[in-house]
Structure 1
Amino acid sequence: MKRLYPALLTLTLPLILGGCAMGSLFISYPSQIAPVKQALSGPTPLAPLPELAGEINSRDGLLYAQEAGRVAQIGGDFNASQTYYQAAIAAYARFDDKALVSVSELGASAGSLVLNDNLIPYRGPGFERIMVHQYQALNYLMQNDFEGALVEVRRANDLQELEQKRYEKSKDAVKAMANGTVDAEISRLGQQAGGVTSSFLNAYSYYTTGLLHELLGEENDAFIDYRKAAQIFPGNSYLEQDLVRLAKQLSMPQYDEFKARFGEARLPKQDEGQLVVLVERGFVPEKQALTVPFTIDGNWQTISLPTYGPAYSQVLPASLTGLDKPLNAAAIANLDALAINALKEELPGLLFRQAARVYAKSELTRSVQSDSKKRRDDFDGAAVAMQIFNVITEQADRRSWLTLPRQAQIARTYTSAGQYRLSFGNTATDIEITPGQTTLVWAIDTGNNIRFYSINIKRKWN
């Protein structure tokens, strides 16, 4: 029995050092977050906040900070959301700055080889980090802090450029680690993501940045960001009209080209105000587990990779009523496609860790079997237990930011000044349109509930 102590220590040490990471070790993260999403679809969206906030100092604190920030935001507590997102931003910064590996991280790394990737501290993919800054910008905006909002959207833009450079540098390593199985899965996920080819280029983020630039009188910067958004997500008529309008206003050389492609932009009349609507619908899909059993030297092993299920139903454009005529929103970003692409980009690295883990588990099993044979045990109970342990501990890492919307849509129009009751589905909100000013409405659809938040931006157009 003494010979088993090193193996048992190897197995149990990560559990001791893992702390709160054990939550996702045997119980999938989507199962844990399901009650939170249920609350967001009901009348008490802020109810899960204490529990989420209590996990911000855990190994998965970054993920819980993102979820808490989003929950508070959907519930309309923008100040609390700002605090939670700041915790997430600080966690990302610590990941960037950390040069030395702590004892607990050594335990987590070793544990991921023996158990599963859920012991690795969560560090979100690039698109999640970008969304933190975009949502932080909206927090500032809803609290009338326009300069703070502009700082955050600029950070989001900088991160998109940084993530693109990182991805370009990693392409060769990704190709080197891929094999037939993972190539097939990458191809399937790529088809499921449609025309989206990158997880970190987000038209919704660029559009939000451009909108803020324009509302603050920085039309040249707005034109640049609108153009980037249109390149990432072509075909949005509102975005195309913005490009024509600004190209004309700024006497850009692209004006004739844009006018020929998209038509002349409608300009506001003197007694009209502008309405801009951001619509967020549903939740991003949850990761599924793809588990494959096999044998090595007669011993059972499994590998379990995260993946996404078959294609999901189409998201319909939001139809807003209550104005002089219905206003139909148009998609500006499919965040489910960004999430799928993020996983596609990560799969080769996941496969590399899986191969190392299978080898480690196989060696542990053989060591136990060898010890049993030396003791001439008739029944190799320890080896059987090891095989069972190997199978039940192989759990796919299904962690991701699950309170993000599935799709973002936009709508933009000019309308006569006055009071309006804007309706979407069975929910309505009262808004005021003021001549020469902009009313921004943010509608968040969580399934059984639609919440409206609005702000009147008093800066007049030039």
Structure 2
Amino acid sequence: MRTSFQSGDYERADFIADSLKENEIYEEKDRVLYALEKGTINYFKGDYEQSVESFTNAEEYIDQFFSKSIKTGIGAFLSNDTQLNYNGEVYEDVYLNGFKSLGYLKMDDFQGAMVEARRITEKLEEAEQKYGEYATSMAESDTTDQNIKWEAGTSSIHASPLSHYIASALHAKAGEEDGARIEMDNLKEAIKNHQAMPDSKLKFDSSFAKVQRPDTYNTMLMAFCGSAPDKVNISINTDINRDGKGVKIAIPKLVMQPSSVSVIEAVVNDTMRTELKIIEEMDKVARETFEIKKPIIIARATIRGILKSVAQKGITDMVEDEYGEVAGSIAGFLGGRAREASEQADLRGWQTMPGKIYTNVIKLSAGKHDVTFNYYSSAGELLYSEARNITINERERLEPIASIYSN
């Protein structure tokens, strides 16, 4: 599915996603993932209504599964994480609203687009508190007496440049100058905030301010490139000792997928050339916000590891009492290997999520236009071109057009 999506064959990617669901590769516990993939695929396929519906489903499932895990308490963690309902990562919950906003904008629903744009930053602002309350709830339901430290992590990212960029444009097009100016000020602050992330390439470009002048544009160019970080399995030993040994647990680690794209250009009708500027580093926000949930992942894996260790010791003692010390040692060894093998990190994630977003606005005359997005490396090598077309009517307020190169 991911390969078909990256090659631009969205019809096949859509078919494969549905086949995976029909064959129960996507199980009930994977409903969030299926909805996220369908949302992205349908967006780039041009089915914006279905895309918004899929992302709305994903958002509702995330909320449902999150609430359910709180009610269940630590009992939900006694099985392997891969067997739990997947309730999404912070960044997945955030960026689905970005696609919903662009989807509503494509359908000329300015109010819907504004609501979703604001939700991006709202969720970033609320993430630490949300998971802090979650950790407190888990601590209250923890009766294992193992001194597990239940707490949420922190993130330096609490705003989204993309959110404020879209909101500024929508205010400007609605004739709300003050709103457009305030959102542009917020955009500048959000970019400063993002620049604190390691290796950030984000900076404020003068072209961003153009969205405050509604008469100068009617088309918003959006180009996505790269991919979200991959999740890989890592094993760590906690500092809680059982018989002189730390409890070995498995947790996911995010591995960045660097993009070779350095410059993106849009060519309209083979005559007008416009360079797009980077507005959001989704992959780096993913890496940063993952730290919020990480301590909770470690805590629940530790709880599970300890309980499995206790159960293993009980079986070992029973075998030793019945068959002798040697048999007990063998049972303990085999039980330890089985316990570690059964502990797997949850590597599920949004496979079609892009890594970066570039944008600019232009004014086009009424009629049909051919738009080619060109993706270049830092050396000036053309990596990929995608041709799109757009139709502008006489009274067009704001028409988005998007391209993606998932290199």
Per the normalisation by structure 2, the TM-score is: 0.75
| Aligned residues of 1:287 and 1:308 also touching (Cα < 8 A) | yes
AA matched with 1:386: G
Aligned to 1:150: 114
**Secondary structure, counterpart of 1:405 in structure 2:** coil
What is the CA–CA distance in structure 1 between the aligned matches of 2:306 and 2:128, rounded to whole Å?
33
What is the CA–CA distance in structure 2 between the aligned matches of 1:101 and 1:48, rounded to whole Å?
35
**Match for residue 6 of structure 2 among 41, 46, 50:** 41
Which residues in structure 2 correspond to 1:115-264 (within 5 Å)?
A: 116-163=80-127, 166=130, 197-198=156-157, 200-234=158-192, 235-238=203-206, 240-242=208-210, 245=212
What is the CA–CA distance in structure 2 between the aligned matches of 1:101 and 1:241, rounded to whole Å?
46
| Aligned residues of 2:77 and 2:301 also touching (Cα < 8 A) | no
Distance 1:178 1:411, change over 3 A: farther
**Secondary structure, counterpart of 1:395 in structure 2:** coil
| Aligned residues of 1:213 and 1:222 also touching (Cα < 8 A) | yes
AA matched with 1:47: F
What is the CA–CA distance in structure 2 between the aligned matches of 1:447 and 1:67, rounded to whole Å?
14
AA matched with 1:218: E
What is the CA–CA distance in structure 2 between the aligned matches of 1:384 and 1:231, rounded to whole Å?
56
* Corresponding pairs, count: 367
Measure how far apart 1:409 and its partner are: 0.9
Measure how far apart 1:386 and its partner are: 1.5
Measure how far apart 1:403 and its partner are: 1.5
Distance 1:310 1:203, change over 3 A: closer
Aligned to 1:340: 287
AA matched with 1:39: S
What is the CA–CA distance in structure 1 between the aligned matches of 2:332 and 2:135, rounded to whole Å?
41
| Aligned residues of 2:70 and 2:134 also touching (Cα < 8 A) | no
Question: Is 1:50 aligned to 2:18, yes or no?
Answer: yes
Measure how far apart 1:345 and its partner are: 2.1
Question: Is 1:83 aligned to 2:83, yes or no?
Answer: no
Aligned to 1:376: 323
Aligned to 2:401: 442
Distance 1:353 1:108, change over 3 A: closer
**Match for residue 397 of structure 1 among 323, 339, 346:** 346
What is the CA–CA distance in structure 2 between the aligned matches of 1:340 and 1:81, rounded to whole Å?
25
**Match for residue 311 of structure 2 among 357, 364, 373:** 364
The gaps in structure 1 that reach 5 residues or longer are: 1-35, 180-185, 191-195, 250-266, 449-462
What is the CA–CA distance in structure 2 between the aligned matches of 1:331 and 1:439, rounded to whole Å?
20
| Aligned residues of 1:432 and 1:439 also touching (Cα < 8 A) | no
Distance 1:313 1:424, change over 3 A: closer
What is the CA–CA distance in structure 1 between the aligned matches of 2:257 and 2:37, rounded to whole Å?
25
**Secondary structure, counterpart of 2:255 in structure 1:** coil
Question: Is 1:330 aligned to 2:277, yes or no?
Answer: yes
Aligned to 1:12: none
Measure how far apart 1:65 and its partner are: 1.7
Measure how far apart 1:446 and its partner are: 3.7
Distance 1:53 1:223, change over 3 A: farther
Measure how far apart 1:331 and its partner are: 0.8
| Aligned residues of 2:231 and 2:347 also touching (Cα < 8 A) | yes
Give CA deviations for 1:2-33 in whole Å, capped at 9, x if unaligned: xxxxxxxxxxxxxxxxxxxxxxxxxxxxxxxx
Give CA deviations for 1:38-85 in whole Å, capped at 9, x if unaligned: 121232232223145556771232232222222222222222222222
What is the CA–CA distance in structure 2 between the aligned matches of 1:231 and 1:285, rounded to whole Å?
25
AA matched with 2:225: R
**Secondary structure, counterpart of 2:361 in structure 1:** strand
| Aligned residues of 2:372 and 2:388 also touching (Cα < 8 A) | yes
What is the CA–CA distance in structure 2 between the aligned matches of 1:108 and 1:99, rounded to whole Å?
6
Using the aligned pairs only, state the percent identity: 21
What is the CA–CA distance in structure 2 between the aligned matches of 1:318 and 1:87, rounded to whole Å?
32
What is the CA–CA distance in structure 2 between the aligned matches of 1:143 and 1:436, rounded to whole Å?
14
Distance 1:141 1:241, change over 3 A: closer
Distance 1:140 1:313, change over 3 A: closer
Which residues in structure 2 correspond to 1:24-35 (within 5 Å)?
A: none
Distance 1:414 1:444, change over 3 A: closer
**Match for residue 108 of structure 1 among 65, 76, 85:** 76
What is the CA–CA distance in structure 1 between the aligned matches of 2:361 and 2:70, rounded to whole Å?
49
AA matched with 2:14: L
Question: Is 1:308 aligned to 2:254, yes or no?
Answer: yes
AA matched with 1:332: I
What is the CA–CA distance in structure 1 between the aligned matches of 2:246 and 2:93, rounded to whole Å?
39
Give CA deviations for 1:174-227 in whole Å, capped at 9, x if unaligned: xx9889xxxxxx9xxx9xxxxx932x5221122223223333333332322232
Question: Is 1:412 aligned to 2:361, yes or no?
Answer: yes
| Aligned residues of 2:386 and 2:403 also touching (Cα < 8 A) | no
Distance 1:393 1:57, change over 3 A: closer
